[in-house]
Amino acid sequence: MSRVSPLVDSLIEAFQCLPGVGPKSAQRMTLHLLERNKNAGLVLAETLSLALENVDKCSSCRIFTETELCQICTNEKRNKSQICVVESVSDVFAIEQSNEFNGTYFILHGHLSPIDDIGPEELGLEKLFLRAKSQDTSEIILATNSTLEGETTSHFIYDNIKDIESLKVTKLARGVPLGGELEYVDRGTIMHAFSGRQTLKPTEL
């Protein structure tokens, strides 16, 4: 596409590194910032370079943070004896939003995938196993995605920590999602929902 200014062209090009942004959206973002929102754009540029230069993985849970330990690992109100193992940081955001979990995390940043050369080392499993062996840890909650790769990764982790004394290893319940209509729920989920069915107590339901 013939355009009018090398700098504007490079900006349209640069925006396309963002997920879900193609040439049209990149053009719209560029013109929007130039036309209406220069200040917000400058703030974005500064925050972006600051974050990319300073943010790294928390040395305990591998979440993104600009400090040695993240705000969850240093929060005294959180239960350090529980470790929830997830595949990505966005899973942490989703769990935090539910306000259900008050323990700590361990982020794998992926799942085992021999074909992509992603083994235990890339997922930082050595560090996880060390934390699992520690006296301070009482429970590991395996919360990888309910996909083939996620389940495989959970299995591998379970095999490596199942013999640790007095350590409880759990995984998230599988079942019918809230608001889910049985008619449209897949066979596998229904199988899990049946095998994991729970006895009602008079105070429930």
Q: Are strands 139-142 and 168-171 parallel, antiparallel or unpaired?
A: parallel
Smallest separation, CB 32 to its own copies (Å):
5
Residue number, 27 or 144, with CB nearest to its own copies:
27
Smallest separation, CB 130 to its own copies (Å):
21
Smallest separation, CB 128 to its own copies (Å):
18
Residue number, 3 or 201, with CB nearest to its own copies:
3
Extract long-range pairs of 107-115: CB within 8 Å, 24+ residues apart: 107/57, 107/61, 107/62, 107/63, 108/62, 108/144, 108/153, 109/57, 109/62, 111/87, 111/144, 111/145, 111/147, 111/149, 111/150, 111/152, 111/153, 112/149, 112/152, 112/153, 112/156, 113/149
Residue number, 71 or 147, with CB nearest to its own copies:
71
Smallest separation, CB 139 to its own copies (Å):
21
What is the contact surface with its own copies in residues (CB under 8 A)? Answer: 1-8, 10-11, 14-15, 17-20, 25, 27-35, 37-38, 40-55, 58, 63-67, 70-72, 88-90, 92-93, 96-97, 109
